[in-house]
Amino acid sequence: MSTSQRRMRSEGRIPVLVAQLVAFALILSLPGAVLPLLVRCVAVVIAASVLLPLLIVDPSRLRHSSRRTRRLGVSQAGFLAVVALAAVALTVVQLVTASYALVPRVLVGAVGAWLLQVIAASLVLWQLDRGGPVARRGIRSGPHPDPDLRFPQEDLEERWMPSYLDYVTTALTNAMAVVPARTLALRPRTKILTSIWSFTSFALLGVVVARIIAFVA
């Protein structure tokens, strides 16, 4: 297939921006027992400062990609993923050790930490798969990186290409499913990442259920 045949309409910025803003809000809403307010504020400032130049380059549609913007996008997604993983791990610790009075607040925080991990995972997959949103749609000429994920729609439509919503669905399914998802992880790095996210999600869920039973009993 020629480069011109592979070119597709650029992806919109709005869905991704909404997800990033929700992630910032979730970080700030985490209980102080999980992450101190100062740490949460610093994390949001760092992530937002990385987002700002990306918005300046591509405010509405994703059409430009350089080595610098690519690194910024991947770095921000990776940073949010680390913050989310820390929030989940610390939430599990708090659920195990928190006093009776703090349990309701930590349980609410567990929901936020879980949602934060889903959003962070979707952003990482969206940035990594086939070189990112710009390279994925063939807007720039050059070699196309190997796919990290295989979506079932690719078997039905020759020119189909995933959008951010598809990565949100993949991350959400990976966090909830007890059987392999229809979207397949192809590369080792993707298999490792999705395995980590799946394990931490189920660990958090298991501790939440156990703590609720102990709280109600």
Phi, psi values for residue 10, rounded to 5°: -65, 155
- Is the pLDDT at 3 greater than 60? The verdict is no
Taking only the tens place, the pLDDT of each residue in 168-185 is 999 999 998 766 668 899
Integer Rg of the chain from CA:
19
Whole-model pTM above 0.85? yes
Q: Which residue has the tokens 């959003």?
A: 119
Mean pLDDT across the chain: 88
pLDDT of residue 55: 93
Nearest to 90 by CA among 58, 116, 64, 125: 116
The pLDDT of residue 60 is above 90: no
Judge whether 132 and 70 are in contact, CB under 8 Å.
Answer: yes
Q: How confident is the model at residue 18 (pLDDT cuts 50, 70, 90)?
A: very high
Q: What Å distances lie between residue 146 and 150, 168, 200, 213, CA to CA?
A: 10, 20, 27, 46
pLDDT digits (tens, 9 = 90+) for 100-146: 778 888 888 999 999 999 999 999 999 999 999 988 877 554 556 78
Contacts of 39 (CB under 8 A, 6+ apart): none
Residue 143's pLDDT is what?
A: 59
Q: Are the CB atoms for 64 and 7 separated by under 8 Å?
A: no
